[in-house]
């Protein structure tokens, strides 16, 4: 599952400079470059995403002392998703983000996916994809290399079925399904709720599409485009229906329920063709 892409020399040099600094810290096990730069989806607006894998948390004072002198804007110790430092390099204007991950948690998460087939509601295999597409910068004891090698294995059929079992009922079948919640949002004339439930619907929908194709989920950006590029098996009319769904969701138009139903019907046809449709 690993993927090698050509990394721009300037980006790689900056990433290596930062990684070498953090690699000096005893509690740091590995530093890798990941995100769009290593997944082959970067453009001129992309950030430089590094991941520091640690045995014990890296002190904020150490991080600040390195980042502050080189940055024209900083956000230290964000806790919105993962622990993160972000800054804009004064010299180049490059935005850099460092995410800090506990190595034990990372090992357990990957083990849960590959051995126990623990599915999520949307984005199930994103961290697996992140690990598989990472470029190693510092890895003194070879820990990350071993982790990446363990990630380089076929997509388990059991995980495919677990993702479908977790996400498919939420599309339409469950009492609290996204389709039901979208219908309720229309009744309440609640545009915010409709938009929120539409996004959640698409998260579960694409989780299923990538799983059916044994393709690791690349994350929340460019899902439609990447599904078309990487997946050989797609629901009929997917692009047109997803595009229309998003346009309709911004209008509180009751037609969104018909479009959503059409998306589910075509997905179900694909699942039936692949003998993956869950029992109702």
Q: What is the mean pLDDT of each run of 10 residues along the chain (280 residues)?
A: 60 93 95 77 71 96 97 95 95 95 97 97 96 95 96 96 98 95 96 96 98 96 94 97 94 92 97 89
Radius of gyration of the chain (CA): 21
Adjacency order of strands within the sheet including 48-54: 71-78, 83-89, 95-102, 48-54, 28-34, 135-138
Q: Residue 180 and residue 257: Cα distance in Å, rounded?
A: 9
Beta bridge partners of 28: 54
pLDDT of the residue at 177: 97
Q: Which residues span the domain enclosing 167?
A: 157-273
pLDDT of the residue at 205: 98
Q: Are residues 16 and 147 in the same domain?
A: yes
Q: Are residues 179 and 265 in the same domain?
A: yes
Q: Residue 235 and residue 256: Cα distance in Å, rounded?
A: 18
Q: Are residues 92 and 165 in the same domain?
A: no
Using CA atoms, how far residue 31 sits from 46, 81, 121, 276, in Å, is 19, 19, 29, 39
Residue 230 lies in a domain: yes
Using CA atoms, how far residue 200 sits from 51, 66, 192, in Å, is 27, 38, 12
CA torsion sign, 215 to 221 to 224 to 230? negative
pLDDT of the residue at 93: 93
- How big is the CA angle at 240 (ends 238 and 243), to the nearest 5 degrees? 100
Which residues lie closer than 8 Å to 91 by C-beta, 6 or more apart? 70
Give how many domains the chain has, as a whole number.
Answer: 2
Residue 17 lies in a domain: yes
Q: Are residues 164 and 252 in the same domain?
A: yes
Residue 235 lies in a domain: yes
pLDDT of the residue at 41: 57
Q: Please, what is the end-to-end C-alpha distance for the chain in angstroms? A: 33
Residue 116 lies in a domain: no
Q: Residue 140 and residue 147: Cα distance in Å, rounded?
A: 13
Q: Are residues 96 and 162 in the same domain?
A: no
pLDDT of the residue at 11: 81
Residue 114 lies in a domain: no
Q: Are residues 137 and 24 in the same domain?
A: yes
Which residues lie closer than 8 Å to 170 by C-beta, 6 or more apart? 121, 176, 177, 178, 200, 201, 204
**Could you tell me the CATH number of the domain that includes residue 73?**
3.30.460.10
Which residue has tokens 């393709």?
215
pLDDT of the residue at 37: 66
Cβ atoms of 252 and 194 within 8 Å: the answer is yes
pTM of the model: 0.90
Q: Are residues 161 and 67 in the same domain?
A: no
Q: Are residues 98 and 165 in the same domain?
A: no
The interaxial angle of helices 255-273 and 178-187, nearest 10 deg, is: 170
Dihedral angle of Cα 61, 67, 68, 74, to the nearest 10 degrees: -100
């Amino acid at each position: 599952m690993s993927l090698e892409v050509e990394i721009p020399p300037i980006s790689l040099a900056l990433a290596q400079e930062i990684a070498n600094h953090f690699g000096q810290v005893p509690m740091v096990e590995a530093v890798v470059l990941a995100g769009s730069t290593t997944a082959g989806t970067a453009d001129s607006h992309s950030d430089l995403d590094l991941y520091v894998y640690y045995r014990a948390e890296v002190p904020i004072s150490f991080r600040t002392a390195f980042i502050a002198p080189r940055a024209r804007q900083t956000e230290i110790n964000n806790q919105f998703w993962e622990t993160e430092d972000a800054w804009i390099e004064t010299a180049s204007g490059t935005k850099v983000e460092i995410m800090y991950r506990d190595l034990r948690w990372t090992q357990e998460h990957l083990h849960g996916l590959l051995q126990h087939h623990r599915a999520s509601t949307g984005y199930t295999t994103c961290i697996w994809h992140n690990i598989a597409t990472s470029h190693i910068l510092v890895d003194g004891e070879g820990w990350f290399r071993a982790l990446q090698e363990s990630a380089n294995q076929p997509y388990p059929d059991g995980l495919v079925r677990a993702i479908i079992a977790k996400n498919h009922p939420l599309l339409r079948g469950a009492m609290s399904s996204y389709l039901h919640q979208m219908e309720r949002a229309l009744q309440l004339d609640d545009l915010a709720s409709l938009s929120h439930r539409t996004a959640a619907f698409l998260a579960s929908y694409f989780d299923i599409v990538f799983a059916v194709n044994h393709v690791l989920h690349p994350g929340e950006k460019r899902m439609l485009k990447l599904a078309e590029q990487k997946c050989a098996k797609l629901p009929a009319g997917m692009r047109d229906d997803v595009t229309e769904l998003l346009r309709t969701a911004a209008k509180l138009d009751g037609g969104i329920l018909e479009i959503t139903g059409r998306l589910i019907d075509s997905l179900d046809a694909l699942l039936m063709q692949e003998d993956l449709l869950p029992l109702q």
